[in-house]
Structure formats: structure tokens, C-alpha cells
A and B are shown apart, each in its own frame.
Chain A
Amino acid sequence: EAQVTQNPRYLITVTGKKLTVTCSQNMNHEYMSWYRQDPGLGLRQIYYSMNVEVTDKGDVPEGYKVSRKEKRNFPLILESPSPNQTSLYFCASSPLTGGIINEQFFGPGTRLTVL
């Protein structure tokens, strides 16, 4: 089954404790992206990747890191989480057609709470 998986689905942690949220897709998509969803703010892009070793900042990259060492995986790293990073996080992937983004497939989401 074609899908985007995220782990963990739920996470409660404390300020300053490094964490990683994994994202994996099995559709051989070039494009992958991380978003956070907050009430009243909609979805905001954190980072995206056009291909292996090619990443760029979205609108809200502060406090986050990403890496794209393999095509299928795109982990999101919070080196020192803070309470303002409490949010619902979505990973997504998309094929690129002529270098242009297409329909995105979203993961189920990770609800993160930072105390």
C-alpha cells in the first residue's frame, strides 16, 4: 500500500530534550516536506526537500533540523524543543513532474507536546 508513515504518532516530552520524528514514504517520491498545524494558523511549511541531499527552509524553520540521506526518509529533528513547538506535525511526499510539485500524500500526523 502506498503510504507515508510517521513515528511516533503521539509524543509528550520536556523542554530541551532532543527528539526525532521519523517520516518514510514508499512511493519513490522526490519531494518531501514537513508542516506544522496550529489553530488559526493553518499549515505552515517547516522544511522541504526536492531530492536526496537537497533541502530548503519553509516559512517556520527556526528550532528544527532535517536531513535527506535516503530518498524514502525525511526525519525532523528538534535539538532543544521548547513549549512553542507544541503542535500537530505532518510529513508529506509528492512526485515532481518537470521539477514541479504535484499532489502531496500526507502522513497521519504526530501530535507533539513540549512541557
Chain B
Amino acid sequence: AQSVAQPEDQVNVAEGNPLTVKCTYSVSGNPYLFWYVQYPNRGLQFLLKYITGDNLVKGSYGFEAEFNKSQTSFHLKKPSALVSDSALYFCAVSRNTGFQKLVFGTGTRLLVSP
């Protein structure tokens, strides 16, 4: 069975500081990993994905994520946070074969203060 854990309900960071939003996963076989962002009163938008290759994945709006197979983690990072980054962030996992069931985490609210 697939599962995703986002251990922090909320992350608070000051503008200009680096941010990290944590995600760990469990899946049989090799994972496909995704980050999505949801701004208030809007649908979800794709940020980035890891399928294979380089463990550091770069995505939209200056975000990046690091895949760590031994720790089964896929943490989202940004070197310098903006107030406009404040939103709800979801990590998701699928498999690299077979039926493509997708499991999301419970979400982490990022609050960037001026």
C-alpha cells in the first residue's frame, strides 16, 4: 500500500529565509513523487515531480525538492521565501508501474511573514 506523511500541519518562516516542507513516503517498488500547491480558494497547481535521475529536482516559482531513497523522503525547499509563497502544499506518491493510484499527504500550510 502507498502512503505519504507530511508531519507538520504548518510551517512558519520569515520572508527571505530558507524554507523546508517535509514529506516521507511508503510505496512498493520505485516511487513517482509530486508536489502540488493550493492557493486560497483555488484548485491545485503542479510544482515539481521526481521520476528518475537526479535526486535534486527543480520546479516552478523557485522551488526544489530532494529525493532521498534511504530515508524515503522528498522534502520541498526554497532558498528564500516570499510572502506570496503562503499556501497549502501537498506531497503525493504513485508507482512507476501498473495502475496509477495516487496518494496525497494531508497537506502542510506554509505561512511566510513579512
Bound: A100/B30 CA distance, A: 12
Q: Which residues of chain B from 6 to 54 have any CB-CB distance to chain A below 8 Å in the complex? A: 6, 32, 34, 36, 42-46, 49, 51
Bound: A104/B36 CA distance, A: 9
Bound: A104/B45 CA distance, A: 8
Q: Tell me the total A-B contact number using a CB cutoff of 8 A.
A: 66
A106 touches B100 (CB 8 A): no
How many chain A residues sit at the interface, stated as a range, is 20 to 34
B71-113 vs A, Cβ < 8 Å mask (1 yes, 0 no): 0000000000000000000101010110111111111000000
Bound: A84/B32 CA distance, A: 31
B106 touches A48 (CB 8 A): no
A43 touches B104 (CB 8 A): yes
Q: Which residues of chain A from 35 to 52 have any CB-CB distance to chain B below 8 Å in the complex? A: 35, 40-45, 48, 50
Task: Pull 8 A–B residue pairs with CB atoms less than 8 Å apart, ordered by A.
Answer: A35-B104, A40-B106, A42-B6, A44-B104, A45-B101, A59-B101, A104-B102, A109-B43
Nearest B residue (CB) for A54: B99
Nearest A residue (CB) for B3: A59
B44 touches A56 (CB 8 A): no
A96 is an interface residue with CB less than 8 A from chain B: yes
B99 touches A56 (CB 8 A): yes
Bound: A41/B107 CA distance, A: 8
How many chain B residues sit at the interface, stated as a range, is 20 to 34
A43 touches B90 (CB 8 A): yes
A58 touches B104 (CB 8 A): no
| Centre residue among A40, A50, A104, A105 by max chain B CB count within 10 A | A104
B49 touches A103 (CB 8 A): yes
Residues of A within 8 A of B107 (CB): 42-43
